[in-house]
Structure 1
Amino acid sequence: MSAPGTFPAQMAIGQSTGRWRLYVAIYGIPGSQWPEYVFDGAAVPSVQDRSRALDALGYTFTDTPEWAWSEDYAPGDDPAQPVSLIASAQVREVAS
């Protein structure tokens, strides 16, 4: 769970689009309404690109721009299947 006033930002590659998608998960709001940014191309966005995307969404890192990476497996946990990589970082909304 995030600290009060902070939210988890996550980034993953879309299985159907092949493009990286960064979104801010806001509890109590349906995922279809979360702020999101879709990057062009399939290359992993740089830390600077991710920072600019968060800025465009009105968020900033809570501390340092560190991203934690994890693997997610397809249903059935077949080790022969490719894994999905998910990056996450804690962010806060920028005061307007």
Structure 2
Amino acid sequence: MEKAGGVGKGITMNFTNILVNGSTLEISLYWAGKGTTYVPKRGVYGPLISAITITPNFNTHIGFSVGAIVGIVLTSCVILAFLLLFLWMKGYLLRKSNRHEGK
């Protein structure tokens, strides 16, 4: 509250030397005897921190390229088509009904 210059005002703090373990960032907040959810008398109560936003200063894009995604989709479609063809050739799909053979 003191750093923000009042109640309900936002403050931006930049930290550059932050240790990130793998892909996990752990933030530990310690209670310093300020802020409460119990209201014994009129005043400002509640948490002193209501939101934390983390903006990385490096490229976070890790993923597949468009070509890789197209290749994966096409390969999946071809494998599915071969599987359906195999099942059809073995007679598991689209069997002809034997009900009309006796007439």
User: What range is the shorter-chain TM-score in?
Assistant: under 0.3
User: TM-score, length-normalised on structure 2?
Assistant: 0.22
The structure, 1 or 2, with the larger RCO (C-alpha pairs under 8 Å, 6+ apart) is 1
User: TM-score, length-normalised on structure 1?
Assistant: 0.23
